[in-house]
Structure formats: C-alpha cells, structure tokens
Amino acid sequence: MEKIITIHTLALFLVCVLLGSVIIGPSCEGIISTPNQYIQMEPPTPPQQPPDGPGGSNYSHSGVRQTRYGFGAHAFWIFEPTDPMPSSAPLIVFNHGWSAFYPVFYKAWIYHLVKRGNIVVYPRYQLGFIIGTRYATHYAIQAVKNAILLLQHGDHVRPDLDKFAIVGHSLGGGITAEMAVLAQENGLPSPKAVMPVQPFIRNDTMMKDFHDIPSTTLLLVIVGENDTIAGNYSGALIFSTADQIPFDHKDFIVQRTDRYGSPPLVADHTAPVCIPNSILVDAMDYYSMWKLFDGLTDYAFYGTHQQYCLGNTPEQRFMGLWSDGTPVKELTVTDTP
C-alpha cells in the first residue's frame, strides 16, 4: 500500500526532530545533546543569605551564650550575645510551635537574632507532646518574668525593657498574640513589636479578641499559602481584632511557594523551622521571617528600616533572586485578609 505523507504529517515530524535535541530527564532537568557529549543543565538555586540589612549576615556579635533554667512546663532558655558581650540589649521572647519545646527547631533564627545584639528568651510552656497546653500562655508569661529577674542580676546582659518584642510560630504564634494582650497586666513590659507566624489559636482555651494589644505596638501577621495545618483563620482573627493598631502600624503578609528552582521554596507550616546546618534554613527564612522581624524590631526600637517591614513596599515584598537572576515570588501584603 502506498503511504501518503501530508503537509501536517511532515510538519509534526520536523517538530519532533527539533524537540529531540533536548531530552527532559526524570528530574525535570534539561539535557542538551551535542555531537560528543551530553551536558546536564542544573536548575537554578535559591538565594543565599544577604550580606547585610534585615535578614543579613553582618552580625555585631560572633558568640551566643545559652543557659537553661527550670523544669517541665516551667523551663526556659536564655540566649545572650557575646564576643563582644554588651552591657544591655533588647529583649525578645520566642514562642515555639506545638511540641517543639527544644530550641534546636528554631536555633538558626534564634542565633541570628542574638548575634544581631538581642537577648532571646525561649519558654518551654509545654510539659509533653500531647498534653500540657491549657495554661501555655500563663506558663510562658511566668517564664519571661523569671528570665527578666535572672538577667537583672549576676553575670548577664541586662535586658533593656524599653525594647521588648514577641515572636512565635504556630501555637506559639497564638501565644504571642495573647502575651501581647496580657503583658502589662501581668507585669511584663508593653511590647513594641509583635509577629505571630502561621499562628494557631485553640478554640477551647485561647482568646478570640485581640483588641487590647496596645495601639503603639507594631504588628505583622505572617501566613503561608500552602499551610494546611494552621491555615489563615487564626492569623486573620488576630489581625482584624487588633483594631486599636492603625493600619500604618500593621500588615498581614502571605508567603508564596516558588518551585522555579531546586530546592523549591515552600510556604507550608514547616517553613519557620530552621535547624542549623540543614536544608531547612533557606531564603524563606532570610527574606521572609528573618527580614520582616529584623525590620520590625529595628523600626520599633531604633526608628530604622521601616521599608523592610511595613507599607507594602518593594523592600518588604522582595524575596531575593534565583541563581539565574529570576526574582523569587514576592510576598503578598494586605490590610484586608
């Protein structure tokens, strides 16, 4: 039988020949064919930590002193800057997520904060993996009060209580918001900056109205677009009911997943976890959580770097560049979550 080659068949054949010069491997990386060899095209890599500015590695201290106090749900850790050791420093409370009661889960972020010249207090607040959260905020507040007393005596960096900030992840994000409401009536300083990250509020034991966060507080609420554990509900509740704070002093920020390169940058519930020297420390930390909180505390404490934390500015939204120069998907900033 005679075969008839149509124009459409011929065109399809030529397209297949052209596409055959690039073979897509199982890892979705391109392999370019040359007469003598195959050259594998590596995917772009994520941005590295910037050398300076909020989120950057230009630290004023090279050492960190870590000390643990107390037992069980009443335990807490104090992290102080050394090399050189300052006479005083701002005080930051870091409230961990559900059952992450050892600081190792956030240690890279904690060390970043301390080497920038801050004292960090890390309350355990939780007895075990399953039980022990009903009085979590109470335990966290008491731990911070005990830490302040210790820091005000002996061989410690003295806490500058006029520069007090609170940050937390997941359940710790909900505790962070509650602590901001309850701080003054429980003998803590009024927080200058507060940042719940992917916060979770328990329906049975936690408050649902954050109106009493002081109007002078700077507030950022961070959520992840692929966070299927905490979602956006608790974050939106905190942001909308903290209605004493004017909109020019607060923002609601959505982290965006970007799979353009390898490894991808994923805005899920584990994004804030940053165990040192692991792949968990990435640009989602440097350009999102770290940059935003650095900018927020710099603006609250020293009146600098407002453009990195508030106002829906290019600096606030910027997430760095992939190794081939392509911008990482920007943060989304809004006042209407």
Parent domain of 246:
63-334
Domain CATH code at residue 194: 3.40.50.1820
Judge if the upstream peptide bond of residue 159 is cis by omega within 30 degrees of 0.
no
Strands 218-224 and 158-169: what pairing? Answer: unpaired
Q: Is residue 18 situated within a structural domain?
A: no
For residue 95, give every residue at least 6 positions away whose Cβ sits within 8 Å of its Cβ, in sequence order, or none.
123, 125, 140, 166, 167, 168, 169, 171, 172, 173, 175, 176, 179
Q: Is 195 helix (H, G, I), strand (E, B) or coil?
A: strand
Q: What angle do CA 53, 59, 63 make, to 5 degrees?
A: 160
Q: Is residue 264 situated within a structural domain?
A: yes
CA dist 129 and 98 (Å) reads 8
Q: 32 pLDDT band (50/70/90 cuts)?
A: very low
Strands 158-169 and 88-95: what pairing? Answer: parallel
Which residue matches tokens 């300076």?
A: 52
CA dist 147 and 159 (Å) reads 10
- pLDDT for position 13: 33
Q: Is 325 helix (H, G, I), strand (E, B) or coil?
A: coil
- pLDDT, one tens digit per residue, over 218-259 is 999 999 999 999 999 999 999 999 999 999 999 999 999 999
pTM reported for the whole predicted model? 0.88
**Does position 28 have pLDDT exceeding 90, yes or no?**
no
- pLDDT for position 130: 65
Q: What is the mean pLDDT of residues 205-215?
A: 96
Q: 33 pLDDT band (50/70/90 cuts)?
A: very low
Q: For residue 110, give the nearest of 324, 281, 321, 312 by alpha carbon.
A: 281
Q: Is residue 45 situated within a structural domain?
A: no
CB 333 within 8 A of CB 312: yes
**Six-digit token string for 276:** 């040192």
- pLDDT for position 111: 98
Q: What is the mean pLDDT of residues 155-168?
A: 98
* H/E run at residue 334: strand 332-334
Q: Is residue 182 situated within a structural domain?
A: yes
**How far from each other are the two terminal CA atoms of the chain, in whole angstroms?**
68
Q: What is the mean pLDDT of residues 34-42?
A: 59
**Does position 21 have pLDDT exceeding 60, yes or no?**
no
- Report, in angstroms and rounded to the nearest whole number, the Rg of the chain calculated over CA atoms: 24
- pLDDT, one tens digit per residue, over 268-279 is 999 999 999 999
Q: Is residue 23 situated within a structural domain?
A: no
Q: Is residue 46 situated within a structural domain?
A: no
- pLDDT, one tens digit per residue, over 297-324 is 999 999 999 999 999 999 999 999 999 9
Crossing angle for the helix pair 171-182 and 233-241, to the nearest 10 degrees: 10
CA dist 261 and 49 (Å) reads 16
CB 110 within 8 A of CB 142: no
Q: Is residue 56 situated within a structural domain?
A: no
**Does position 171 have pLDDT exceeding 60, yes or no?**
yes
Q: Is residue 42 situated within a structural domain?
A: no
- pLDDT, one tens digit per residue, over 97-114 is 999 999 999 999 999 999
Look at the chain and report how many structural domains it folds into: 1
Strands 119-123 and 88-95: what pairing? Answer: parallel
**Does position 10 have pLDDT exceeding 70, yes or no?**
no
CA dist 257 and 275 (Å) reads 20
